[in-house]
Every structure is written in structure tokens, then in C-alpha cells.
Amino acid sequence: MVCKDKKCEWRWGSDWSNVAQITVSGLDFPRLKTPTAGTIFEKGTDVQIAFDAVDGATGYDFQVVASTDAAFHADYGGSTGATNFTFRASAGIYNYRVRAKGTAGPGPWSEVRHFSINPAPADRLMLPFDASSGAVPRSFPFRYEGLTLAAKIRVTIAEKEAIDAPFLTGRMSPTCK
């Protein structure tokens, strides 16, 4: 095959075909509003997931999975016509995402965010002082005795009950007895 001046020859010659212009248009992905990444909720909280409306959307698909399921295989999912939905789960760390859908099908998924439902029972965290006194040092040793030795927990210690400004966060395994 020999091509020269917009013509290719291979046993016979031919002109180039006309150029076709294709415009791809579709739905944008929803911008997530709440919860912000890393928010920690108390056990039993209804988590309100909210996002911005997408122009042209007729509804939205959502997925919520355990943080260990990065491919969103075992999701709690559904559809909604609103720009928010409520999720209630047991203790753990969850990832979530949302996408708009329209007459031509679904758009791309939003970014993936995560939130936690605080699983640590307070009676298992061993502190070397009486925390109810209010006089809590900012640096101290502590121990966690989990319900099972295989459990890993995320420990977050903050000055306020809302734990929105923690001064210590870490992952640890329970101590052996």
C-alpha cells in the first residue's frame, strides 16, 4: 500500500472518504457534597449522602460498599430521583459513589468517598486515667482489648465528643491476654 497526497494505492486507487465529525455529549458526574471524606459517625446514625444535581439527569444510581470492596461488587445500591439518600449500616468503614442517569443511559460515576461508623465500644479501650474527670493528657499509653484477636480497629482520640478534630488516629490490633 502506498499513500501519497491523500490517495492510497493497492492494486487500485481511491480517494479518501469525507471526514465525519462526531460530538459526544452526555451526563456529567455528580459532585458529592456530604459526607466529606473521612467523616466518622456514631453507631446507629442515619448517614445522609447528598450531591449536586446534574443537568439533564432523570435520576441517580448510588452504591455503598465496605471499604474492602474497592471494585463495588457487593454493593448496597439503588436509584433515587432526589439529590440525596439515607444509609444506615452497622459499624465499619464504607465507600460510596453516585452517577446520574438520563434518557441515553447512565453517566460516569462520581469520585469515591468514604465514611466510618464508629465500631469501638468504649468499655474495651483501656486508658491509664479516669477520662470522665475531664483532665485528660494529650499524650498517654493506652490498650485495646478487642472482642476477637483477628479484629483490627482504627483508634481516634479527640478533645470533643464529636471527634471532628482528632489529635490521635491510628490502626491497631487488640492486645493478647
Tens-place pLDDT, residues 73-94: 877 788 888 998 888 877 788 8
DSSP code string of 60-79: EEEEEEETT-TT--S-EEEE
Cell 463495588: give the residue.
72
Enumerate the β-bridge partners of residue 50: 34, 84
- In the CATH hierarchy, which fold is given to the domain comprising 32-117? Immunoglobulin-like (2.60.40)
Domain ranges of the chain: 32-117, 122-172
Give how far Cα 81 sits from Cα of 50, 53, 54, 61, 101, Å. Answer: 12, 10, 11, 9, 10
**What is the band of 176 on the pLDDT scale with cuts at 50, 70, 90?**
very low
Predicted pLDDT of residue 122: 46
